[in-house]
């Protein structure tokens, strides 16, 4: 059974682009608009006895940003799920904060599909 990838980003266009790229490569995806919705999705999945294989999150989002989201995820039963940041931010301090919070990797937007898939394959298999 494939474990889906949770995409957390406030841009509907980016979520759609990511889902299209990942699903064409054989992955399943779930989408959330911000960190809080992402946490709510994880809670629902846990209640249903389901898991995920990877989380891809933005940094700048309303309600709960990506750094806060990463910290919250790492305090749940999903703490061992790798988290990949996909952001327009390039500041070293933000990358350090994300890593300190528990992010496993960082890619810059706009993403190149082949680069994204190469990184995703490092974390999970189809």
Per-residue pLDDT tens for 40-53? 999 999 999 999 99
| Token pair recorded at residue 41 | 């999705």
Using pLDDT thresholds of 50, 70 and 90, give the confidence band for residue 126: low
- Domain for residue 90, yes or no? yes
**Interatomic CA distance for residues 8 and 32, integer angstroms:** 5
- Domain for residue 32, yes or no? yes
Per-residue pLDDT tens for 104-113? 999 998 889 9
- Domain for residue 5, yes or no? no
Q: Is the pLDDT of residue 99 over 60?
A: yes
Q: Domain range for residue 32?
A: 11-123
**According to the model, what pLDDT value does residue 1 have?**
45
- Domain for residue 33, yes or no? yes
Nearest to 87 by CA among 59, 114, 54: 59
The model's pTM is 0.93
- Domain for residue 1, yes or no? no
């Amino acid at each position: 059974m494939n474990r889906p990838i949770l995409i957390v980003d406030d841009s509907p266009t980016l979520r759609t682009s990511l889902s299209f790229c990942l699903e064409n490569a054989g992955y399943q995806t779930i989408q959330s608009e911000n960190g809080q919705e992402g946490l709510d999705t994880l809670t629902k999945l846990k209640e249903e006895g389901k898991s995920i294989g990877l989380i891809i999150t933005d940094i700048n989002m309303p309600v709960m940003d990506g750094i806060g989201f990463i910290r919250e995820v790492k305090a749940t039963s999903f703490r061992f799920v790798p988290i990949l940041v996909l952001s327009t931010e390039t500041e070293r301090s933000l990358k350090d904060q994300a890593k300190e919070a528990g992010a496993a990797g960082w890619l810059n937007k706009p993403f190149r599909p082949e680069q994204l898939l190469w990184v995703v394959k490092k974390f999970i298999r189809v």
